[in-house]
């Protein structure tokens, strides 16, 4: 734009006011890039210092344009983005040093800018710095508020998750409880009804558990329940559901497994439980009977459970310590 009104020859103007400042600022930017790469922990100070050098270049080249001195506020503006008081102070010192250097060593600027104008400029820069400080203080206040709100929300979320887990967990065995079992079963049956996945249900019951309580006491019975639940969970996958259905009975829901895989798995559970001794029973073991059923579209959730329960009844009355299959599988 100044090319159209300048009295200087075009070549002199281009060299003095376009080419020279461009080369200097390009060099400053290269230094800044190197500083950011080699001093990553100090990159913010590098950028503030580089912005100060760019402003000095612009003002020194165009010293006849007094209003360009307001560019000295540029480093202060940059420091606001870091939300740190020490960076704001650093940029303010940079600006003060730059103003002192320009006014002292640039004869054109010294001649063109009076003391009154200089004091006015300093006053404006101080006011802008105070505004920047206020913005920074308000920003930090908002940041603290957001952090506090985030931490409160996180704490509430964790508390909600824990409460939800407690509401769905059996306190004694640390498996899902009766209510959670029905919730999972309803959802899984809905998906299996649409043919989207395979679903099996195994109902596991500890054999002769009443005699365990009568002979060794309820504390021993509780210890046996915890051990059986622990062994069962150790054999099942993350997509399977182990729930205490009631008393000494557990319900196991298996997803995305074939019938043979589920059968082999429940047999492994049964054999592992049968071979495990219990300190609470003075080194004796317990056995379990299992009824297994496979969901068939159209069966319905009630028939699904009744089939597994009927198979469990058959296992109980045909010798115990065995796995019986529902009629739908047979």
Report, in angstroms and rounded to the nearest whole number, the Rg of the chain calculated over CA atoms: 40
CB contact at 8 A, 235 and 255: no
Domain boundary among 144, 170, 198: 144
Confirm whether 159 is domain-assigned. no
What CATH number does residue 246 fall under? 3.30.70.270
Which residue pairs from 105-109 have beta carbons closer than 8 angstroms and sit at least 24 positions apart in sequence?
Answer: 106/59, 106/60, 106/63, 108/63, 108/64, 109/59, 109/60, 109/63, 109/69
Query: Are 290 and 206 in the same domain?
Result: yes
Range of the domain at 108: 2-144
* Count of domains for the chain: 2
Domain boundary among 118, 144, 170: 144
Query: Are 138 and 182 in the same domain?
Result: no
Give the pLDDT confidence of 70-102 residue by residue, as tens digits.
788 888 888 888 878 888 888 888 888 888 888
Count CA within 13 A, CB hemisphere, residue 277: 4
Confirm whether 204 is domain-assigned. yes
Count CA within 13 A, CB hemisphere, residue 73: 17
Give the pLDDT confidence of 202-245 residue by residue, as tens digits.
999 999 999 999 999 999 999 999 999 999 999 998 889 999 99
Which residue pairs from 113-119 have beta carbons closer than 8 angstroms and sit at least 24 positions apart in sequence?
Answer: 113/66, 113/69, 117/66
Statement: residue 297 has pLDDT above 70: yes
Statement: residue 285 has pLDDT above 90: yes
- Poorest-confidence range of 3-17, 79-93, 188-202, 299-313? 3-17
Statement: residue 19 has pLDDT above 70: yes
Give the pLDDT confidence of 166-196 residue by residue, as tens digits.
678 898 999 999 999 999 999 999 989 887 7
Question: Phi/psi class of residue 170: alpha, beta or left (left: φ > 0; alpha: ψ in -120 to 50)?
Answer: beta
């Amino acid at each position: 734009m100044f090319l159209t009104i300048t009295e200087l020859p075009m070549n002199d103007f281009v060299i003095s006011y376009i080419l020279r400042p461009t080369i200097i600022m390009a060099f400053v930017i290269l230094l800044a890039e190197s500083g950011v790469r080699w001093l990553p922990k100090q990159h913010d100070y590098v950028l503030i210092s580089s912005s100060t050098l760019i402003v000095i270049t612009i003002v020194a080249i165009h010293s006849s344009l007094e209003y360009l001195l307001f560019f000295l506020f540029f480093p202060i503006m940059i420091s606001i983005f870091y939300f740190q008081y020490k960076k704001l102070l650093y940029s303010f010192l940079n600006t003060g040093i730059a103003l002192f250097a320009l006014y002292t060593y640039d004869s054109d600027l010294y001649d063109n800018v009076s003391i009154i104008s200089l004091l006015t400029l300093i006053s404006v820069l101080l006011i802008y710095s105070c505004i920047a400080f206020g913005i920074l203080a308000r920003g930090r206040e908002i940041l603290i508020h957001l952090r506090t709100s985030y931490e409160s929300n996180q704490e509430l979320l964790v508390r909600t998750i824990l409460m939800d887990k407690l509401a769905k967990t059996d306190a004694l065995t640390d498996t899902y409880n009766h209510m959670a079992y029905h919730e999972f079963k309803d959802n899984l049956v809905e998906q299996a009804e649409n043919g989207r996945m395979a679903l099996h249900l195994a109902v596991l019951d500890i054999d002769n558990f009443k005699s365990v309580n009568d002979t060794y006491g309820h504390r021993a019975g509780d210890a046996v329940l915890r051990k059986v639940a622990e062994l069962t969970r150790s054999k099942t996958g993350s997509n399977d559901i182990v729930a205490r259905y009631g008393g000494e009975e557990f319900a196991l829901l298996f997803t995305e497994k074939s019938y043979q895989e589920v059968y082999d798995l429940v047999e492994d559970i049964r054999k592992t439980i049968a071979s495990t001794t219990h300190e609470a029973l003075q080194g004796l073991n317990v056995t379990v009977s299992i009824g297994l059923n496979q969901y068939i579209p159209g069966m319905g959730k009630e028939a699904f459970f009744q089939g597994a329960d009927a198979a469990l009844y058959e296992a109980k009355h045909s010798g115990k310590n065995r796995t019986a299959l529902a009629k739908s599988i047979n």
